[in-house]
Amino acid sequence: MINVGDTAFILLCAALVFIMTPGLGFFYGGLGRRKNVVSNMMNSVFIMGLGIVLYALIGYSLSFGGEGKIIGSLKNFALSGITKDSVFGGNLPTFAFVAFQMMFALITPAIITGSVAGRMKFKALFIFIGIWSILVYYPLAHMVWGGGLIGGNIKALDFAGGDVVHISSGLTGLILAILLGKRHGYEHVSYRIHNVPFVVLGMALLWFGWFGFNAGSALAANGLAAHAFMTTAISAAAAMVVWMVIDSLKQGKPTLIGACTGVVAGLVGITPAAGFVSIGASFIIGITVAPVCYFGIILIKKAIKIDDSLDAFGCHGIGGIWGGILTGLFVTPELNLTEGLGGLFYGGGLTQFISQIEGILITIVIVVAGTLIAAAITKLFTPLRVSKHEELNGMDISQHGEIAYPSFTGLD
């Protein structure tokens, strides 16, 4: 029977998750260069259109419309077979669940765009995101949440998207960054953050929306949702504080950009664990994910020398993997909604920990294969990268014919 309170809560959470995508646009727009701010924001905005259309047509059906181990079916093509009276999980209108999950399908590919900012052709990105959603996101959503291989057979836990959202998007961004190569002058030019207030606004919208992202994954207005809300808040706050401490030790002073980045790292780290671990564990996740991501970003930029433009892999890929691993350590038996097993530190032995590792490894395989195939198909239609002239002239002009600040005449 449909529960009115649960329905209202999930629809509100869906709206909160929706605001994360334009929020990410502000975050990425602020982090990039002035000549690319329109492009960086458009890379999130267009997915709000493409993602909803594609998810309503085939995404929901492929994610939740079948019982296969890898992917669903097309039985709910264009949401056929679902009416206002359809019920999901015994308490929600099916459309409410569809709306909530649809917003996850928007924010996930938007995260990818941070790794390719400043050099990937818009036409190529548009085509790639559509193909990638079909080859990677929908199968992963089915395998983790739709009763497929990872969640149903292996019993790996992913409360709100460590595998499905963050590892998939972060790793995809890294692969594309490698395929595209570095930005021109990357080794010699100082890339300044052009608008710090945009970054703060983006962080605020992301954190605000993340409460719906994680708490809403309880799929009911209940104690588990409240618990996930608290673990989300604590992990993000702890990571922010630790990031500021690291900034102070490394650079002599804390930075606002660092504080915002720390919040995102803490949110990513707690996402797979939010409804499965104790309040105490959420502190540990937030405290540890900050240095892991901080030094992971440095490793990517200086040691490995990969141009992950806006640190999508550094925060989301690394943070998602770390959060998934720690879930296997700290999950408490009463919060394990599938098996009732504790994590390694809660009397469950290695069972859940190994399941988490297996889930992460399978996710990595799916992402690598799907991303390479999607990129190869995209290249049949258009080059992945803009020309050197277009890149140096700025993505805003070359890709969209727009200028973010037409009256600004100063230096970039």
Is 204 contained in some domain? yes
Q: Is the pLDDT of residue 410 over 60?
A: no
Q: Are 109 and 20 in contact (CB under 8 A)?
A: no
What average pLDDT does the segment 187-203 reach? 88
Cβ neighbour number for residue 297 with a 10 Å cutoff:
18
Is 391 contained in some domain? no
Pairwise CA distance, residues 270 & 337, whole Å:
17
Q: What is the CATH number of the domain that holds 205?
A: 1.10.3430.10
Classify 272 as helix, strand or coil. Answer: coil
Cα angle for residues 380, 384, 386 (degrees, 5° grid): 130
Is 404 contained in some domain? no
Classify 87 as helix, strand or coil. Answer: strand
The predicted-structure confidence for 280-300, as pLDDT tens digits, reads as follows: 999 999 999 999 999 999 999
Pairwise CA distance, residues 371 & 403, whole Å:
31
Looking at the structure of the chain, the number of domains it has is 1
Is 400 contained in some domain? no
Is 190 contained in some domain? yes
Reported residue count of the chain is 412
Phi, psi of 255 (to 5 degrees): -120, 150
**Dihedral sign for Cα atoms in the order 310, 393, 45, 377:** negative
Is 247 contained in some domain? yes
Classify 344 as helix, strand or coil. Answer: helix
Cβ neighbour number for residue 74 with a 10 Å cutoff:
13
Pairwise CA distance, residues 129 & 127, whole Å:
6
Q: Could you tell me the residue range of the domain that residue 366 belongs to?
A: 4-384
Is 346 contained in some domain? yes
Cα angle for residues 359, 360, 361 (degrees, 5° grid): 95
- CA 162 vs. chain centroid, Å, equals 8
Pairwise CA distance, residues 308 & 70, whole Å:
30
Is 408 contained in some domain? no
The predicted-structure confidence for 111-166, as pLDDT tens digits, reads as follows: 999 999 999 999 999 999 999 999 999 999 999 999 999 999 999 999 999 999 99
Cβ neighbour number for residue 161 with a 10 Å cutoff:
27
The predicted-structure confidence for 326-337, as pLDDT tens digits, reads as follows: 999 999 999 988
Instruction: Tell me what percent of the residues of the chain surpass a pLDDT of 90.
Output: 92
Q: Is the pLDDT of residue 349 over 90?
A: yes
pTM over cut 0.75: yes
Pairwise CA distance, residues 28 & 40, whole Å:
6
